[in-house]
Structure 1
Amino acid sequence: MTTRFTVQRLGAQGDGIAATAEGEVFIPFALPGETVTAAREKNRATLMAVVEPSPQRVAPACRHFIECGGCAIQHLEADAYRAWKRGKVEHALRSKGIEAEVDAIVPCEPHSRRRVTFSARRTAGGMLFGFVRALSNEIISIGECPIAVPEIMARLEPLKALASLICVTTKPFHMTVTATGSGLDIAASDTGKMDERQRRAAADFVIAQHFARLSVDGEIVIEPQKPMVRFGDVAVNVPPGVFLQATAAAEAAMAERVGAHLARAKRVADLFSGCGSFALRLAAKAEVHAVEGDAAALAALDHGFRFATGLRRVTTERRDLFRRPLTFKELNAFDGLVFDPPRAGAEDQSKQIARSDVPLVAAVSCNPVTLARDLAILLAGGYRLKSVTPVDQFLWSPHVETVALLEKPRKRR
């Protein structure tokens, strides 16, 4: 049944929220202050029409918006959008009793995302290639994406053709495409097992299209060029499927803030170091100990260090920091620390940091909720919060990155 609603506010996922006698109703693509009609099912509703639009409503940047599930909030004016994302960080901190001034958000420009995950499936009508519709498993074919870098979007048809060559299943599968300094790095998963003929055909196609690499389920099929990413002045050959920050600009902005905060440190620990996006930049001024659970990422970091010039010593340690965090005694060997965990945060590691006397700490997180939890632990351990900076590298999505900088007076030994 279609019902008229008045939207009060934006929810954490970008849905408009309307209050009713039966409780709140979440209406995707509706904005605060709007009167809308929507088809309600329990606490969610499908937007049917905007009766009274908000003055902050703007035309979406992409013709696939609403149909494609990749973006939640292209329809909100830029300043209001950035205020909403900054507010997510403020709200998460307040929920843990942390009163802190949150800096203006570092904006994300369109056409800047260097890694995109496409979905694909073979059908009777041909290969479907694109993104998944919101709240469904349906794949939407796309002809544009204003988030992704032009290097990826200019190759949509060859990528779709490659998906057809490597597909040995009727089930949906994924193809992650990363723009690197050597060309496109393509990592597919769940495509089914290719025979030798298919592997040769796919390899020949990759060479003809000047793609850098094709891997399937972590196994390299062909690598005409080693995919290379620069972390500051250091070139790193990244392994298949390794974690990278979504945009190079956001990575640089975060690294600049972390580096400035740790500028006085002579020996730095980089926890959850990945391939070295922080470690290799910090090594220009300090000795760095990089700790990471992914062996391939650590090997890439170490290789990048060994072939670079002008860096201080960088050591690596493979370690599952969730199961075995660095203890406070181990941490006391450092006078600077950066940690950038996955979305689950680093609760146990934060408890050890809180007990340490490392004077300078930089916390980087893609999840304001777990960041607030970890910061509360550090503050209870005597740290003082110097600054909190949101960084938008997930344009028009609910996600926001944050860099929090802390300090603690160091005990005399």
Structure 2
Amino acid sequence: MTDVQPIVRLAARGDGVTADGRFAALAAIGDMVDFARDPPQVVPGPEHAPPPCRHFPVCGGCQLQHLTDTAYAEFAADRLRRVLPGLDPVIMAVALSPPRSRRRASLKALKRGNKLILGFHTEGTHKVVDVQQCEVIDARLFALLAPLRGLLSGVLADGQGAGVALTLTDTGIDLLLANVTADRLDRIEALLNFADAHDLARLSIEGPAGTETMVERRPPQLTMGGIAVTLPPAPFLQATPEGEAALVAAVLAGCEGAARVADLFCGLGTFALPLSRQAQVLAVDAAGPALAALNSAARMAGRRIDVQHRDLFRRPLTPAELAVLDAVVFDPPRAGAEAQARALAASVVPVVVAVSCNPNTFGRDAKILIEGGYRIEALWPVAQFRWSSHVELIARFVRPG
């Protein structure tokens, strides 16, 4: 008996779905799936692409390498349509970051016997894939993995694991090693020699006592809004330069003409610094090191940014505080910003620009704003986590009248 069905859509995690609701892993729209086989056999269609990485699909970093770029961009746009049922905002073209453009990476290392494993977890497990190829992270970061194996083999005990955070900055690579101790002279020398040999901007270690900078040869800096910002260790950054540029362009377009703007969950100032070229900015966040970096950069450049330390989950800006603003930008973590969305919904702010890394929580917060009288005008999808099911977006809401 045959049971062959076409894939008609993709689920949120990228699995193919048939018209009768059955799922098929690693399938694209237009593929044919023979469910009579065990496991089901996928016959590739025109939107199915050969995966470029030898570790796919075992490595948990990518879920969608089997899609063409066209199919991947459509997946990203469809993710946004599905969280806003019944609405029809203008959806801009998807900003898709190129391969090997990721400027930050968090990896796991584990020493077992004489072998050092360094790579990413398989999805949903604690197993680490020892990556010998990666098509998403910048080649300059990937080139450091082989020498890192040698360094960590010498400083880790058998059975010990460590975290590796790599950040590519304008002034070089910033490296943070977690669960690595520098309590012996030979380990200290190994770390310092490694930083020197590979021209690192900074090397830090993180342990029970906190983060310690072992060597800083140059301050790790990134330029945001024309200003150099010195980064704290392992900072939160947009994943790719192309993704950041797309997000900033959309935020600036959404706030065009606003003289007084709040940037909520502002972090290092990814949006606050570009916005400060055209507006007075209130930048609010609870992340102390990031706020200190933003405040220092803004003061040195003479930008009009009022930096405020505040937990917006517990103390969102109130409608009265929001009343003096022409526009509000909010870019919360994956949990969204329900409390702040409710305060915005009760405010008179004419424009709200929402930036989100989670379409599901964005859908919840967007519903709150719409029920409060806002109308969604446009959506900008950004797919900077290439080949993953992770989609970011910017949305512009306006209060009519």
Report the TM-score when normalising by structure 2.
0.91
DSSP-derived class of the 1:244 partner: coil
Counterparts of 1:6 and 1:123, CA distance in 2: 45
1:402: how far off?
0.4
Percent identical among aligned pairs is 39
Matches within 5 A, 1:91-106: 91-94=82-85, 97-106=86-95
Say whether the 8 Å CA contact 1:345–1:371 is kept in structure 2. Answer: yes
Pair 1:253 & 2:246 matched: yes
State which drifts further: 365-374 or 136-145: 136-145
DSSP-derived class of the 1:307 partner: helix
Counterparts of 2:47 and 2:283, CA distance in 1: 45
1:37: how far off?
6.3
1:106: how far off?
1.5
Say whether the 8 Å CA contact 1:132–1:140 is kept in structure 2. Answer: yes
Distance 1:178 1:165, change over 3 A: farther
The corresponding residue for 1:336 is 327
State which drifts further: 279-288 or 222-231: 222-231
The corresponding residue for 2:287 is 294
DSSP-derived class of the 2:77 partner: helix
1:146: how far off?
1.5
The corresponding residue for 2:183 is 195
DSSP-derived class of the 2:348 partner: coil
Distance 1:108 1:272, change over 3 A: same
DSSP-derived class of the 1:301 partner: helix
Counterparts of 2:390 and 2:34, CA distance in 1: 26
1:301-338 superposed Cα distances (whole Å, 9 cap, x missing partner): 011112225x3x11111111111111111111211211
The corresponding residue for 1:43 is none
1:353: how far off?
0.8
Distance 1:361 1:35, change over 3 A: same
The corresponding residue for 2:57 is 66
1:36: how far off?
4.4
Give ranges in structure 2 of 5+ residues lacking alignment: none
The corresponding residue for 1:278 is 271
1:323 to 289, 314, 321: 314
1:104-153 superposed Cα distances (whole Å, 9 cap, x missing partner): 21122112111111121001131111222233322222222111112212
Q: Which residue identity is paired with 2:73?
A: R
Pair 1:137 & 2:117 matched: no
Pair 1:390 & 2:378 matched: no
Counterparts of 1:273 and 1:168, CA distance in 2: 39
Q: Which residue identity is paired with 1:403?
A: I
1:355: how far off?
1.1
State which drifts further: 291-300 or 151-160: 151-160
DSSP-derived class of the 1:396 partner: coil
1:168: how far off?
4.5
Pair 1:127 & 2:116 matched: yes
2:205 to 216, 228, 233: 216
Q: Which residue identity is paired with 1:302?
A: N
DSSP-derived class of the 1:35 partner: strand
Q: Which residue identity is paired with 2:193?
A: D
The corresponding residue for 2:156 is 167
The corresponding residue for 1:403 is 394
Q: Which residue identity is paired with 1:141?
A: D
The corresponding residue for 1:28 is 25
Distance 1:30 1:260, change over 3 A: closer
DSSP-derived class of the 2:146 partner: helix
| Equivalenced residues, count | 393
Pair 1:225 & 2:218 matched: yes
Counterparts of 1:5 and 1:135, CA distance in 2: 29
Q: Which residue identity is paired with 1:35?
A: V
Say whether the 8 Å CA contact 1:235–1:308 is kept in structure 2. Answer: no
Q: Which residue identity is paired with 1:13?
A: R
Say whether the 8 Å CA contact 2:181–2:205 is kept in structure 1. Answer: no
DSSP-derived class of the 1:236 partner: strand
Pair 1:112 & 2:110 matched: no
Distance 1:409 1:99, change over 3 A: closer
Distance 1:224 1:63, change over 3 A: same
1:205 to 179, 194, 213: 194
The corresponding residue for 2:15 is 15
Counterparts of 2:158 and 2:292, CA distance in 1: 33
1:85: how far off?
1.3
Q: Which residue identity is paired with 1:103?
A: M
Say whether the 8 Å CA contact 1:271–1:290 is kept in structure 2. Answer: yes
DSSP-derived class of the 2:320 partner: helix
Q: Which residue identity is paired with 2:26?
A: F
1:210-251 superposed Cα distances (whole Å, 9 cap, x missing partner): 111122223322222211011131110010122111111111
Counterparts of 1:228 and 1:39, CA distance in 2: 54
1:30: how far off?
2.5
Say whether the 8 Å CA contact 2:375–2:400 is kept in structure 1. Answer: no
Distance 1:64 1:220, change over 3 A: same
Counterparts of 2:45 and 2:290, CA distance in 1: 46
Say whether the 8 Å CA contact 2:263–2:284 is kept in structure 1. Answer: yes
